[in-house]
Structure 1
Amino acid sequence: MENVMSRRDRKKIQVLNTLVDFAMKLFINKGFEETTIADITKSADLGTGTFYNYFHSKEDILKYVLVQKFDHSKNSLEKIEKSTITPQEKIRQILITLAKIYEDNLQLFGLCINHLGLKQPPHGTQFKDILVSIIDEGQKSGDFRKNIPIEMVIETFMGLIKSALSSHSKISFMENLNYKLDLFLGGLTERNK
C-alpha cells in the first residue's frame, strides 16, 4: 500500500518549515536575543498561536534544526560505515564529512553553543557507535593496532576534532584537520616492531 501524505500533513510540514526558515534567518541577521516570537510569526505571515502549535520557545527551534542536521549527518556516516572501503578510508571520510557539516553550519553551531549552552552534540551515542564499529573492524582486519583500547582511539579522535576547531593556526580548517588526521592514522596503523 502506497504511503501518501494527506494534504493536511503536507500543510503542517510546510508551516513548520516556514517557521524554521524565517526564524533562522532572523536569528542570524537580527540576533537570537533580539528576535521575538512575534518577529518570527510576522515575517512568516502566520499567527502567534501557530508558532505555539509547533514550538514552545525560540530555543526549541534551534534544538529542532540541530537534530535535523544530526539526523542527516548520521545517515551520511552510516553509509560510510557500511561501505566496502578500508577502515582507514572510512575514518578519513567520516572526518571530512563532519568537517564539511561543521563548515556549512557555523552560524547554527554558534547559536546553539551561545543560546542552548551546548557543550556536546545532542546525538548521544550514535556517532560513537559508528566509530566503535569502524575501529573494531580495523583492529580485527589488522589495519589498526590492537594494543590500543577502542575507548582511547575514540577519545583521541574526538580530541583531534576539538583541537582543529579551536586552533589558532594560520592554515585553513580543512588543512589543519588533514594534518591531524594523518598523524592520528599514522599512530593507529603503526605496527609494533
Structure 2
Amino acid sequence: MQQEISRRERKKLKTKKTISEMSLKLFYKKGLNETTVAEIMEEADLGTGTFYNYFESKEAILKYCLAERVANAQQTLEDIYTSGANATKKISQMLQVVGKTYEENQPLIGLYMNFYRNSENVDRKAPHGLRFKEILSSIILEGQANNELRRDIPPSIINEMFSGILQSTMGSNLELPFMENINHKLSLLLEGVIKK
C-alpha cells in the first residue's frame, strides 16, 4: 500500500511539473495575461479541469516556479553557511549563487515582478522570504567575532552593502555580463577602489 501512495505522489508531482513547464513556455512566448488555462492544458496534453487540481490560478504557477528555483538556491546557501570557509569566502560564494540563480531565471523573475507590480489585490509576499538576509547576517556576525570583518561597522550596514551589490546589479544597464558585474562590485567592496 505504501508503494502505491508513493507511485501516486510521483505521478502527481510529474503532472504538476508538466503543467508548470508548459505554462512557462507559453508565458514566455505569449505573456501571462494572453495565455489561457485551456492553452496550457492543451500544451500539457491534459484536461482543462485538471489545472485546478494543481494550481488556483496562472499567477500561482509563477510563484510555484520561482519558489522551486529559490528552494534549490537556498539549499546551496545553507551548505555554504555550514561550510568551514571563512566569512569573506562564504559571502562571496553566497553572492555568486544568488547572482547565478537570478541570471538563469531572469525571464521568470521578470514575469513575476511585472505581474506583482501591475496587480493591486495580490499577496506580494516574495517566495523566498528573509532567509538570504538571515544567513548573511549570521555570517557577518561570525566574521566579526573571528576578527575577519570590521567590528566598528554595525552588521546591518555590512548586510545592506552586500545586498546592495545584488540589487544594483539586477537593475544595472551596463553592457557587462551579469556575473562579471557582481564580481567587480564585490571586489571593490572587499578590496577598495584605491590602488595600493
Structure 2 length as normaliser, TM-score? 0.88
1:123-172 Cα distance to aligned partner (Å, 9 max, x none): 22211111011101100000000111111111111111111122222332
1:23 matched to which residue of 2? 23
* CA distance, structure 1, for counterparts of residue 125 and residue 187 of structure 2: 25
2:70 matched to which residue of 1? 70
Secondary structure of 1:64's aligned partner: helix
If asked which structure has higher relative contact order (CA below 8 Å, sep 6+), I would say 2
User: For 1:145, which of 126, 147, 150 is the aligned residue?
Assistant: 150
TM-fit CA distance, 1:117 = 2.8
Does the CA contact (< 8 Å) of 1:26 and 1:40 recur in 2?
yes
1:1-21 Cα distance to aligned partner (Å, 9 max, x none): x98852211111111111111
2:47 matched to which residue of 1? 47
1:167 matched to which residue of 2? 172
- Runs of 4+, deviation exceeding 6 Å: none
1:9 is the counterpart of 2:1: no
Alignment of structure 1 residues 33-182 onto 2, 5 Å:
33-117=33-117, 121-182=126-187
Which segments of 5 or more consecutive residues in structure 1 lack a partner in the other structure? 188-193
Secondary structure of 1:109's aligned partner: helix
* CA distance, structure 1, for counterparts of residue 3 and residue 132 of structure 2: 30
Which segments of 5 or more consecutive residues in structure 2 lack a partner in the other structure? 119-123
